[in-house]
Structures are given as structure tokens and as C-alpha cells.
Structure 1
């Protein structure tokens, strides 16, 4: 795996929620409902730091996701 890619990927709701500074339960519900960009690899949620930053930039700029 590319080192840059490895640094970009967050594995698990705990790490994703820490990155976005939100509680794990809310993060899980947002991921599972599609309101937060991410996906499942096996039974583990994964997300890209870059994509999460872009998602929140869209939200704070007032543009729809």
C-alpha cells in the first residue's frame, strides 16, 4: 500500500470519530446512513481523511454534499 494512502485512511469508527471530533455513536449512525462519506471493508468502517475534510468544507461553505 502506498504510504500516502496508508496515512490518509482511517480504520474503525473510533479513529474516524476522533478525527472529526464527534462521539462514536453519532459517527456510526452518520456512516451507516450515508450522511458521512465512508465504507466498509469487511466488518470495519473506513474513511479517507481527505474526503472527510472535503465533506466538511462543503458543509461549512453552504454547498450541498
Structure 2
């Protein structure tokens, strides 16, 4: 029986870390998340986003 390997998730945790990744302030980033402009999810009390989805979000808009 072979095991399926699951890809590792590269997650960015917290508004500050997400803001750093996209070059925005915490306030700008929180606004983008709360309006649904960024595909982040709230887990517990922290926002989290998968790095590949974040990159795809910006590259799709540019295309």
C-alpha cells in the first residue's frame, strides 16, 4: 500500500506577517482581508493565508 504525500502548506500567520509579505501596513492589510479582497481565513484569533494563494491572487490580477 502506498501513501499519498500531501503537499506542505506554506502558511503566513497574522496580519503583520501578511502585511510584510505584500508590502502594506497592518491597517491596509486588515482592510483588504475584512473586505474580502485577500483570500485569508480567520483561525481562532489570527488571520492566515496560504502563500501560494496570495501569490496567485496578485499574479492573476496582473495578467
Q: TM-score, normalization: structure 1?
A: 0.82
In terms of Rg, which structure is larger? 2
Any gaps of 5 or more consecutive residues in structure 2?
1-5
* Corresponding residue number in structure 1 for 2:29: 27
Any gaps of 5 or more consecutive residues in structure 1?
none
**Which structure shows the higher helix fraction?**
1
**Whole-angstrom distance in 2 between the partners of 1:58 and 1:50:** 12
Tell me how large the CA RMSD over aligned residues is: 1.4
The within-5 A match list for 1:1-65 is: 4-5=8-9, 8-61=10-63
Offset, 1:4: 2.4
Query: For this pair of structures, how many residues does the alignment match?
Result: 58
Q: TM-score, normalization: structure 2?
A: 0.84
